[in-house]
Structure 1
Amino acid sequence: MKYTKMPGTDLTASNIIMGNMRIDALPATEIGKLVRSAQDLGINFFDHADIYGNGECEALFSQALSMNSSMREKMIIQSKCGINKNDGYYDFSKDHILSSVDGILSRLNTDYLDILLLHRPDPLMEPDEVSQAFDELEKSGKVRYFGVSNHNPMQIELLQQALSQKLVVNQVQLSIAHTPIIDSGVALNMGVDQSINRDNSVLEYCRLHDITLQAWSPFQTGFFEGVFVGDTERFPELNAELDRLAAKYGVSPDAIAVAWITRHPADIQVVTGTTKARRLQKMSDGSEIPLTRAEWYALYKAAGNMVP
């Protein structure tokens, strides 16, 4: 397992993150086994959000582990807030952030979060109000570090200028079959669809500003249009290349899909979503696979992307 000291923090984190969005489908005993399997693989980073299972995932996580201080110290725990799921809008108001964090901490049975992310951009955000909330959370010790999810560079700039704290994470969607944060830079000036800059150069921005990128849905294509690994009907060339490299490195195609992300020099963390320990192990095998430049580009092209 590869570990990286996250810029702007004192956290040394695994580049594979166990995502907990779906653990409410498991009984408590299986959740405990899954978390312990993750730790045995070297994973020390666990991702949550207050909307996962309407909060149930956070509660089940702590209950399954019988969370205590000794166990908590071995974990980097991150959660997200800002989505009012019941009413269908985003809310970065001070009161909502503060009450959300209190709920998260209660459900996780912990005194603090290592990282809090604002889940999706709120067009009605008032940066000074967010700043007040972050200051209270930091002063009280409830949150150590802060970040965002699904934010573009100017949204980050707008928020950062009001904050006392540095934003240290941006969690975005990325997989071999969903690469808009890479595509336009590769196809610049070509006048094709791939040339369209849909993400305002967020990859380069985060690298310039020492913001750790985290890749969610690392096996999805499009916006929840299905998993590409094993889908030989829609992605025959990509799966052929995944299989070829899996055979070369003695791992699964899942590991190669992860390795394509971890090979990037931005030190991108990969957020898994599986509830199966065996599949988590296959994914984790991609933590340190040294894909060559030629192999990385071969996968990118096999997914249907142009390299002019």
Structure 2
Amino acid sequence: MKTIALAKYLPGVSRLSYGCMGLGGPHWEGTDYSVDDISQAHQVIDTLLDLGINHLDHADIYRSGKSEAVIGEVFKQRPELREQFFIQSKCGIRFADEAGPHRYDQSKDWILQSVDGILQRLDIEYLDTLLIHRPDPLMEQEDVVEAITTLTDNGKVRHFGVSNMHVGQIKFLQSHLQDPLVVNQLEMSLSQLGWLNEGVFVANPEGANVNFAPGTLEYCRNREIQLQSWGSLSQGLFSGRGLDQQPQHIHATAERVAHYAAEYQVSREAIVLAFIMRHPALVQPVIGTVHLDRIRACAQASSIQLSREHWYDLFTVARGGQVP
């Protein structure tokens, strides 16, 4: 597995990140998990070690904390594993409860409370990276800065980043921070092409409805903010999922992915990820499958690089037409 320098501050991070959202049992609600759920986490961790994938992506809301808790059980039983992984988690989303609706919360108290819960569930002393999960319209930057300062001073978090933020939001937050933000995690895939269409539609009215903030990728590259992609595998759309009632361009893309998988002698998952990884921003895809064979299939992406022509062919078919 090839490695990257995560925004240069965490050298040696694998090109792929493993998203732990699927761990912790079948249900999102509740706090109970089973022996089988812990066993599954052990198997996933062993598979990642075999493949050289050493980056774990969590969030405090995944399975209502159970995704972190089952990894914490693994670390309790095998404490030597902690230093073999870069561990990232996210906070700032609150589910509907007796106090209010589904909402975002970047208040100082909530961030500090969230991190304490994350560390307790993971059974670790610090996070390598903490991301603010979603932009909070009511965010007071002073609150976030105070929370980050507190977490840095007490050694609970080593680096900070954001998720689902555009360039203006990142600049606004960064302007009040002493240390640089090191990650921005966004939805980028072969089925969600706003990150690419925003650039090719400059000054073109056809791009008026592209929902991706101009300049975000370029700003992150210039500031050495590591771009990570969630939804990287398009929920299996091009690697075996049923395509009933899908539009023609989705069927065509799935066929093209299968064609290149045969040509490059890799899995279809590898082609889907290689499309993202071919971008010069060195995007780090987050993969979320709990199936061991599919994790292995994803790891093949690091062994190939799509040619410019093959990349544009996939881009053209996936977007349903040639570039302007």
TM-score greater than 0.5 by the shorter chain: yes
Deviates more, 1:85-94 or 1:51-60: 85-94
Which residue matches 1:164?
Answer: 178
Residue 69 (structure 2) aligns with = 59
Runs of 4+ in 1 over 6 A off after TM superposition: none
Cα distance in 2 for residues equivalent to 1:212 and 1:107: 26
Residues 161-189 of structure 1 deviation map (CA, whole Å, 9 limit, x = unaligned): 11122100000001111010110211223
3-state DSSP of counterpart to 2:302: coil
Q: CA deviation at 1:7?
A: 2.2
SS of corresponding position for 1:199: coil
Partner of 1:82: 92
CA deviations 1:225-266 (Å, max 9, x no partner) are x73433555312211211111011111111100111111111
Pairwise CA RMSD: 1.7
Q: How many Å apart are 1:68 and its aligned residue?
A: 5.0
Write out per-residue CA displacement over residues 186-218 of structure 1, whole angstroms, 9 at most, x where no aligned residue.
122332147746323311121121110100011
Q: How does 1:239-250 map to 2 (within 5 A)?
A: 239-250=254-265
2:4 is matched with 4
Q: What residue is the counterpart of 2:214 in the other structure?
A: 200
CA contact (8 A) 1:114 1:143 kept: yes
Count residues in correspondence: 304
The amino acid that maps onto 2:21 is M
Shift of 1:128: 1.4
The 1:258–1:174 alpha-carbon spacing in structure 2 relative to 1, beyond 3 Å, is same
**TM-score (ref. length: structure 1):** 0.94
**Matching of residue 284 in structure 1 with residue 293 in structure 2:** no
Which residue in 2 is equivalent to 1:181?
Answer: 195
Structure 1 residue matching 2:186: 3-state secondary structure: strand
Amino acid in structure 2 at the alignment position of 1:219: L
Q: Is the 8 A contact 1:22 1:57 kept in 2?
A: yes
Structure 2: 5+ residue stretches without partners: 26-35
Q: Aligned partners of 1:305, 1:181: CA distance in 2, in Å? A: 16
- The 5 Å alignment of 1:143-158 reads 143-158=157-172
Other-structure match for 1:112: 126
Distance in 1, matches of 2:304 and 2:77, equals 33
Show the counterpart of 1:299. 314
Ranges in structure 1 where 5+ consecutive residues have no aligned partner: none
193-202 or 14-23: which moved more?
193-202
Partners of 1:201 and 1:256 in 2: CA distance: 26
Contact in 2 for aligned 1:147/1:170 (Cα 8 Å):
yes
- Relative to the length of structure 2, the TM-score reads 0.89
1:5 Cα offset (Å): 1.1
Identity %: 40
Is residue 2:201 matched to residue 1:191? no
